[in-house]
A and B are shown apart, each in its own frame.
Chain A
Amino acid sequence: MVMFNVALVLLSLAVICFLYRVVKGPTVADRVIALDAIGICLAGMVAVLSIILETSVFLEIILLIGILAFLGTAAFAKFLQKGVVIERDGNH
């Protein structure tokens, strides 16, 4: 059981490193990549916590965090490249 706590500490250290990159990162793309990685780390922490608490009711949250991280990153990439997220159809 101690190993799972150690894994949680390692994941927290990883989140701290990514937070440094979010604060310092010279470009916006750095910050977006680091925030995406923080979201994925958060999903892993939920998985390890549900092992420690011995409950399977949090496992949907992992899939939810994965989907939200992907949607946010894709929307931000489109905003960076084109300036809009949802383009207006100019034909009519």
Chain B
Amino acid sequence: MNVTEIIDGVIMLLVMVGALLTLISAIGALRLPDVYTRSHAISKSTTLGMIFILMGTLFYFWLKHDHFNSRLLLAIVFLFLTSPVSAHLISRAAYYSGVRPWEGTVRDDLAERRENRTKSAK
């Protein structure tokens, strides 16, 4: 087993793990009961899966073609910073526009605050 085979194996492992994590998050989007749990599943595992895929691509072009692509590194950092933020924004907008959580939810710490908001709006 020489160095080239190890590099090939590591790149394939990174890409496959990333694709599997993305598929798992899609299955979560199908099966989970409400917006908040779906947002939880999608935002975390899609972000990690995409970081794995982009790292595999970065290593492929760096180690096999001797071409370090800084745009890919920038894309990884940008995705890591913005994907949780967009999930937060959408969940917050859904909560304040009146989407109820799943009926099995045990506690809802923001309920009082939402009541105050709808009262002051009227």
Contact = CB atoms under 8 A, between A and B. Distances in A.
A66 B90 contact: no
B16 to A, nearest CB: 6
Interface string A2-45: 01101110110111111011000001111011101100110110
A81 B90 CA distance: 9
B114 interface: no
Majority SS at the chain B contact face:
helix
Per DSSP, chain A at the interface is helix
A61 to B, nearest CB: 9
Given A7-B18, A27-B94, A47-B57, A33 B87 contact: yes
14 contacts: A7-B16, A8-B19, A17-B23, A28-B94, A30-B38, A36-B87, A37-B26, A37-B42, A40-B46, A44-B50, A47-B56, A47-B57, A59-B69, A73-B90
Interface of A: 3-4, 6-8, 10-11, 13-18, 20-21, 27-30, 32-34, 36-37, 40-41, 43-44, 47-48, 50-51, 54, 56, 59-60, 62-63, 66-67, 69-70, 73-74, 76-78, 80-81
Interface of B: 11-12, 15-16, 18-20, 22-23, 25-27, 29-30, 35, 38-39, 42-43, 46-47, 49-50, 53-54, 56-57, 60-61, 65, 67, 69, 71-72, 74-75, 78-79, 82-83, 85-87, 89-94, 96-97, 99
